[in-house]
Amino acid sequence: MAVFSRAISAFVVLLLFSFSEAKEVLVGGKSDAWKIPSSQSDSLNQWAGSSRFRIGDSLVWKYDGAKDSVLLVSKEDYANCNTSNPIEEHKDGNTKVKLDRSGAFYFISGAEGHCQKGQKLVVVVLSPRHAVISPAPSPVEFEGPAVAPTSSATRLQSGLMVALGVFALGLF
């Protein structure tokens, strides 16, 4: 019975660990998503609103670095599409930004006129205490959508953990 109990404990620890791993998330879920949206429903904020991000996750943008860029900006610069004073500027076409704190991150396109046409993104990172079971932060609180990562790797990893647990239980 003690061996069975240890196996269950080990499984639970591994399962919890799998839910806390950082992820790389492709912005918009596809490589050509960093562009002027064709409609309001095509906005990256719509995509972001259906996701949850945690501290340590990274956002990845794929775009033509000769024609566009990704700017991390303040809330005010996001609202005004001000490209003159970014916190960070990325022009490489394969940008990766680590989400290193909870709260809102504001991104806009650095290409002339693109932000004004809707090429912008707000990502809200959950605090550690809200990362497991919590309703989404209120959009009013952050003046942007609540967001987070979606990844088939998470489902695969969770499935492997369950299979490992079932296998371990089958041995006893």
The DSSP line for 68-86 is --EEEE-HHHHHHT--SS-
- What is residue 21's predicted lDDT score, i.e. its pLDDT? 77
Q: Has residue 158 got a pLDDT over 60?
A: no
- Given the candidates 3.40.50.2300, 3.30.565.10, 3.40.470.10, 2.60.40.420, the CATH classification of the domain at 24-150 is 2.60.40.420
Residue pLDDT, tens place only, 117-144: 999 999 999 988 654 544 444 444 444 4
* Crossing angle of helices 152-170 and 2-19, rounded to 10°: 180
DSSP code string of 97-161: EE--SSEEEEEEE-STTTGGGT-EEEEEEEPGGGSSS-PPPPHHHHTS-------HHHHHHHHHH
Closest CA to 73 of 18, 119, 5: 119
Cα angle: 136, vertex 13, 153; to 5 degrees? 60
Contact of 11 with 164, CB cutoff 8 Å: yes
Would you list the domain boundaries of the chain?
1-22+151-172, 24-150
Q: For the whole model, what pTM was predicted?
A: 0.66
- What is residue 3's predicted lDDT score, i.e. its pLDDT? 53
- What is residue 41's predicted lDDT score, i.e. its pLDDT? 73
- What is residue 2's predicted lDDT score, i.e. its pLDDT? 59
Residue pLDDT, tens place only, 12-53: 444 444 455 789 999 999 988 999 999 877 789 999 988 999
Residue pLDDT, tens place only, 64-119: 999 999 999 999 999 999 999 999 999 999 999 999 999 999 999 999 999 999 99
Strand, helix or coil for residue 52: coil
**Distance, CA of 168 to CA of 99 (rounded, Å):** 35
